[in-house]
Amino acid sequence: MSERHIVKILSIEPVTHDVKRFRVEKPNGYSFIPGQATEVSINKEGWLEKRNPFTFTSLNEWDFLEFTIKIYDAHKEVTHQLGLLNPGDELILHDVWGAIQYKGAGCFIAGGAGVTPFIAIFRQLYNDGLIGNNKLFFSNKTAADIILKEEFTKMLGSNFINTITEELVPGYDHHRIDEAYLKNRIHDFNQDFYVCGPPQMIEAVQQAIKNLGGSAITVEI
């Protein structure tokens, strides 16, 4: 029988103009590996069976669970409804499942909200003093879309590399993450690559890495 936990929302805070941080109660004995996810539904009539997968962005040692969620208001679906909730409202959590797991040091490549599976991974590595030479290449349409810019900069320093595709911003790359960009930016393709983003981006980046002699661990959003 699958897990089912009803939890109260403890707090909701803005992260960017369209991303919110939800902190919720943590059921007793509930645990996960950084990078894992669960399906979430809203404990309201009409929304009980509408499940969306979200990655945990908290760490196991915290006494609450956290999700960092992009709100798509135009879709009028689960994330839009989540954006209307308040502390005290309830969510339903289901089974924990593997999204993307850390296998060893390498390059992380994310598009937009595709960075969310990497948040807990980097937080855990940073806490354990194991951040090493891991790199994060993060592609967004605008600088205002960058999720947790200050925290990633603190954790990764110059290994946090942002590229902006729809505006020119001093200090940022202005290029899609394609084969030419990767060839210019990465000199060792015999390492782990972790890729998360929209399906079209995943497919293109995966093929580019393969063309350059590497292989990627991927998850779609």
Condensed to tens digits (0 to 9), the pLDDT of residues 30-64 reads 999 999 999 999 999 999 999 999 999 999 999 99
CB-based contacts of 76, cutoff 8 Å, min separation 6:
none
Q: For residues 197 and 219, what is the distance between their CA atoms, to the nearest angstrom?
A: 7
Residue boundaries of the structural domains of the chain? 5-97, 106-220
> Which CATH code fits 106-220?
3.40.50.80
Condensed to tens digits (0 to 9), the pLDDT of residues 57-88 reads 999 999 999 999 999 998 889 999 999 999 99
Q: How many residues does the chain have?
A: 221
pLDDT classification of 1: cutoffs 50, 70, 90: low
To the nearest whole percent, how much of the chain has pLDDT over 70? Answer: 99
Q: Which residues of 23-50 are buried (b: 16+ CB within 10 A; e: fewer)?
A: bbbbeeebebebbbbbbbbbeeeebeee
- Which two structure tokens, joined as six digits, stand for 150? 């200050």
pLDDT at 221: 63
Condensed to tens digits (0 to 9), the pLDDT of residues 106-164 reads 999 999 999 999 999 999 999 999 999 999 999 999 999 999 999 999 999 999 999 99
- Going from the C-alpha of 25 to that of each of 42, 50, 60, 69, 109, the distances in angstroms are 14, 20, 13, 17, 30
Nearest-10 Cα torsion for 38, 39, 42, 46 = -170
Question: Which CATH fold would you assign to the domain 5-97?
Answer: Elongation Factor Tu (Ef-tu); domain 3 (2.40.30)
CB-based contacts of 82, cutoff 8 Å, min separation 6:
20, 22, 42, 69, 71
